[in-house]
Structure 1
């Protein structure tokens, strides 16, 4: 398994709606950070949509990634055949081995049957371009539903991008997710969280925390996924809390990123693939 960073390793620095930094972190800087941290991959998520970049900037990012020896991985949201078809072309340009996709988008929430139909329509392009589709668990679909989607299409070309925390929105914890979806996982998003009971005791608060300080055990995840020889990369993602100012939040985000990469490097030493 290769280790990588993402645009969601640095969500505040890349830009959160309503909290835009004066100088958002862009692809050139992310590539240099990845090189400095000695990781092998950079995943570009939907918070930095590459289809909006000038073609010269996109081509330069691909060229620079090759120079630095950083493998690009492409991601987007909206599992709709025309949009995904366009992103598969961009993924092919970048040499991305898979396209990570969040199914839903604003005003777009297809049923499971509709997702299966869209993916089946994309299978010829996936096979032709030799790019796998990694469907991310993202709140709405249960692990069982995601398993059915993969098995109803083509598990050779359709897999799961497993996010360790997103499925809390569907009432499912990471251990259950891994139990159901581990055989299909092609990319892991390691994102640590803490869950605390609120002061009045009637409810819980879920929040991101420093990697390794919360509930998500990387040793369990990597030891389990390594048995299936399918997960090719682990990506550090983060949910850093807002600290009152954007500057302080971005500083903590960067410090957590350093800690998280060190944690995952040390953990991965035992699970080479």
Structure 2
């Protein structure tokens, strides 16, 4: 097995975000991904996917030699089914999701019930559902849900940077989740003092320059051995104007691709 390095909508966040003077399309993101020599793209938290011509999106990805993954939020059975249908249409074998939406915050018991109801369709379709680690839900709760459902098609999308905001140490998050990881979101991060030295800002930074112990994560999870893909994301701070911010985003993409490729 092997681990593929991919990009995502979060690699181009400021370029398709409404703050952009001319937001780029999904086709443009796919074309730029191919131009980097990358063959995997995760369409993550991109609401427009629900209204696009999925056959046309898949045709573009196929033409460029790109495999697609999908990402959403929420674990209601109806929502999971909706995104499974989209995944199947796109030929995506991974759907990343999260416990909470803007209007629903399930308890552990509610989450387990929803996941048990929805996972059988994923099993039948051969699609994996990966629940992301993030600050709104304690990592032990995410792990407990995965363990309770006990399906080979349910696991964790590991992003240790997210859980720092809940005072979870990244190494602890990695080690607790390692047996269940089905997908990895890769981004480095650091704390910087705010103006006047009053408080800190937690934000992204280029790989290798922050607090993510990437080598520990890879040694613990063993993505190449287990076929777990690594998706590059960014937390690029706003630089004051769209053009400067987008240029920095592109520089981080190039840097992070080189960083990960050098460690394969």
Which residue number in structure 2 is paired with residue 165 of structure 1? 161
Aligned partners of 1:183 and 1:228 also within 8 Å: no
2:12 aligned to which of 10, 29, 50: 10
Aligned partners of 1:7 and 1:48 also within 8 Å: no
What are structure 1's unaligned runs of at least 5 residues? none
Aligned partners of 2:119 and 2:151 also within 8 Å: no
Aligned partners of 1:182 and 1:228 also within 8 Å: no
Question: Following the alignment from structure 1 to structure 2, what is the Cα–Cα distance between the partners of residues 30 and 199?
Answer: 35
Aligned partners of 2:4 and 2:228 also within 8 Å: yes
1:111 aligned to which of 99, 107, 110: 107
Which residue number in structure 2 is paired with residue 41 of structure 1? 40
What are structure 2's unaligned runs of at least 5 residues? none
DSSP-derived class of the 2:262 partner: helix
DSSP-derived class of the 1:104 partner: coil
Q: Deviations over 1:241-267 (max 9, x none)?
A: 111111110111111111111111111
Matching of residue 213 in structure 1 with residue 217 in structure 2: no
Q: Deviations over 1:12-31 (max 9, x none)?
A: 1120xxx5213212211111
2:171 aligned to which of 162, 175, 179: 175
Question: Following the alignment from structure 1 to structure 2, what is the Cα–Cα distance between the partners of residues 199 and 71?
Answer: 43
Aligned partners of 1:44 and 1:75 also within 8 Å: yes
Question: Following the alignment from structure 1 to structure 2, what is the Cα–Cα distance between the partners of residues 93 and 38?
Answer: 24
Question: Following the alignment from structure 1 to structure 2, what is the Cα–Cα distance between the partners of residues 228 and 234?
Answer: 10
Question: Following the alignment from structure 1 to structure 2, what is the Cα–Cα distance between the partners of residues 141 and 155?
Answer: 20
Cα pair distance change 1:13/1:63, threshold 3 Å: same
Question: How much is the aligned-residue C-alpha RMSD, in angstroms?
Answer: 1.7
In the TM superposition, what is the alpha-carbon distance from 1:164 to its structure 2 partner? 2.6
Aligned partners of 1:193 and 1:214 also within 8 Å: yes
In the TM superposition, what is the alpha-carbon distance from 1:66 to its structure 2 partner? 1.3
Which residue number in structure 2 is paired with residue 76 of structure 1? 72
DSSP-derived class of the 2:157 partner: strand
In the TM superposition, what is the alpha-carbon distance from 1:109 to its structure 2 partner? 1.0
Which residue number in structure 2 is paired with residue 126 of structure 1? 122
Aligned partners of 1:185 and 1:231 also within 8 Å: no
- Provide the aligned length of Structure 1 versus Structure 2: 262
Which residue number in structure 1 is paired with residue 138 of structure 2? 142
Equivalences for residues 229-248 of structure 1 within 5 A: 229-248=225-244
Q: Deviations over 1:67-98 (max 9, x none)?
A: 22211001111221111101101101111111
Give the TM-score, by structure 2 length: 0.93
In the TM superposition, what is the alpha-carbon distance from 1:201 to its structure 2 partner? 5.2
In the TM superposition, what is the alpha-carbon distance from 1:39 to its structure 2 partner? 1.5
Q: Deviations over 1:197-224 (max 9, x none)?
A: 4465553321111222111132222222
In the TM superposition, what is the alpha-carbon distance from 1:228 to its structure 2 partner? 8.7
Runs (4+) off by over 3 Å: 197-203, 227-231
Question: Following the alignment from structure 1 to structure 2, what is the Cα–Cα distance between the partners of residues 245 and 204?
Answer: 22
Question: Following the alignment from structure 2 to structure 1, what is the Cα–Cα distance between the partners of residues 165 and 223?
Answer: 27
